[in-house]
Structure 1
Amino acid sequence: MCHVLIIEDEPLIATYLQTLLEDEGATSFDFASSEEEAVAAARAHSPAVITSDVMLTQGTGPHAVSRILEELGEIGVIFVTGTPDQCEPCAPPGIVLSKPVQPADLAQAFHSFTAT
């Protein structure tokens, strides 16, 4: 079972990411559109992988991810953003993909964290 937290403030993009990741084997999802929602969702159900936009309705994806990683430890992170130059801090373990995301790139990034 692979649970994914999708941090994205555009519902259509979040649904698109969910569809692509379901095709790659993800089995459950939580969604958040703000930094606080993301942290709360991760606390409630620890994800195996996180996808995150950079700019959110409130706060930023990188700050949400940093807070989550501080609390929960190492989790695979894929930043999917239209503003990769504003991805701070997006240092490893994060992978940064630009929007519009290519399905093959997302699949490769996802499997880099889920391969056993």
Structure 2
Amino acid sequence: MYHVLIIEDEPLLALDLQDILSDLGVTSFDFAATENEAIEAARRHAPDIITSDVKLLEGTGPAAVDIIYRERGEIPVLFITATPEACEPCNPPGQILPKPINAARIAIAFRNMTRA
């Protein structure tokens, strides 16, 4: 019932996130590896939730989320990053989780964001 935008430049991690979130009831996904791809994906199909890395192949996840917020309004976001200290401006509603990906922590954060 949820559409998630996964902003992640490591394809295997993006697929891991898709598997974890599918098990939690997410039914559709868009994927982006760069800041611009993320913005364009959100313009095409408004996400219900965003998962985002911080450092991307081009640009940053927080910068993409900031633009998406300005265009689409507040959307719950879960930053999943190996560099939590670089998460700027990671100030929208949501959480910051460190990598490596932990399915249990992602599930808890997802349920808290969706009240699912």
**Structure-1 residue corresponding to 2:106:** 106
Q: Which runs of 5+ in 1 are unaligned?
A: none
Q: Shift of residue 92 of structure 1?
A: 3.3
Aligned-pair identity in percent equals 59
Aligned to 2:48: 48
Any idea what SS the aligned residue of 1:9 has? coil
Determine if the alignment matches structure 1 residue 64 to structure 2 residue 96: no
Residue matched to 1:33: 33
**Structure 2 residue ranges without an equivalent (≥5):** none
Deviates more, 1:20-29 or 1:92-101: 92-101
Q: Which amino acid aligns with 2:83?
A: T
What SS does the aligned partner of 1:27 have? strand
Corresponding position: 1:96 with 2:96: yes
Distance 2:7 2:45 in 1: 14
Write the deviation string for residues 37-71 of structure 1: whole angstroms up to 9, x where unpaired: 00000010000000000000110000000000110
Give the stretch that moved more between structures: 56-65 or 90-99.
Answer: 90-99
Amino acid at match of 1:12: L
Written as runs of structure 1 = structure 2, the 5 A alignment for 1:9-20 is: 9-20=9-20
Aligned residue pairs total 116
Separation (CA, whole Å) in 1 of partners of 2:37 and 2:75: 17
Extract structure 1 runs of 4+ deviating beyond 3 A: none
Question: In 2, distance between residues paired with 1:92 and 1:101?
Answer: 21
The 3-state SS of whatever aligns with 2:79 is strand
Q: TM-score, normalised by structure 2?
A: 0.97
Give the secondary structure class of the aligned counterpart of 2:70. helix
Q: How large is the Cα RMSD of the aligned pairs?
A: 0.9
CA contact (8 A) 2:74 2:92 kept: no
**Residue 115 of structure 1: CA displacement?**
1.6
